[in-house]
Amino acid sequence: MSLDDYRVIFVAVGLVGILLLSIPVLAVVVRLPVGETFSELYLLGSDNMAEDYPFNVTSGVNYLVNVDVNDHLGSSAYYLLYVKFRNETGPLPNDTSGVPSVLPSLYAYRMFLQDGGSGEFALNFSFSGTSFSASQATVGTVTVNGVSSSVDESSAWDTVNSGYYFQLFVELWLYSPASDSFSYNSRFVSLWLKLA
């Protein structure tokens, strides 16, 4: 081997060494694209499992589900969750257009999560002031985590499914520092309830 051959090998090894030593510095300076960023929202039954959800409900009985949120936004997030109640014809949120339901909120819960973090809150609910007629059932008051709200929602008898149906749902809202306000995050979960 000649001196020029050693020089080429020395330069090649030197360049590889410089590249290896500069990778940590490049990782700080050059940001690679991240994957999809999103928030997760889901309901779990009273045992924190995806089962044993209340369905057949009666007036004066307390029911429990757990609402869970996971932050995969790439940064910390401040969430606001609205609990709402509707009959079978009441408006739901429109996830396609990102528009929340116009129904009033019965309960609001706030949580702050770090990126990759998860949070949970227990959602205890009950009904009172219910009445039945031959063709409809009415719920007068819904109590969520000790906060009672007058709803006066009526549901017509469903002849196909033999019952009076209502829906409790939770909308996920996300705080935006740029606008200094919360906006609907196009996520909601719901629970169908058959009033007996």
* pLDDT, tens digit (0-9, with 9 covering 90-100), for 121-134: 999 999 999 999 88
Instruction: Tell me which residue has tokens 């050059």.
Output: 30
Residue 186 has pLDDT above 80, yes or no: yes
Residue partners of 56: CB distance under 8 A and separation at least 6: 194, 196
pLDDT confidence band for 24 (50 / 70 / 90): confident
Buried b / exposed e over 143-169, threshold 16 CB at 10 Å, is bbeeeeeebebbbeeeeeeebbbbbbb
Residue 160 has pLDDT above 90, yes or no: yes
- Please, what CATH class does the domain formed by 38-195 belong to? mainly beta
Separation of first and last alpha carbons in the chain: 93
Residue 66, sorted as left (phi over 0), alpha (psi -120 to 50) or beta, turns out to be beta
Phi, psi of 143, rounded to the nearest 5 degrees: -110, 125
Token pair of 7 as six digits: 């020089």
Residue 32 has pLDDT above 60, yes or no: no
Cα separation, 54 vs 65, whole angstroms? 8
**Cβ atoms 165, 155 nearer than 8 A:** yes
What mean pLDDT comes out for the span 105-118? 96
pLDDT confidence band for 13 (50 / 70 / 90): confident
Token pair of 158 as six digits: 């469903």
Indicate the residue type of 78. Y
pLDDT confidence band for 8 (50 / 70 / 90): confident
pLDDT confidence band for 26 (50 / 70 / 90): low
From 23, 164, 172, select the one nearest 93 (Cα to Cα).
172
As beta bridge partners, residue 123 has 65
Res 14: pLDDT: 78
Residue 46 DSSP class: T
As beta bridge partners, residue 2 has none
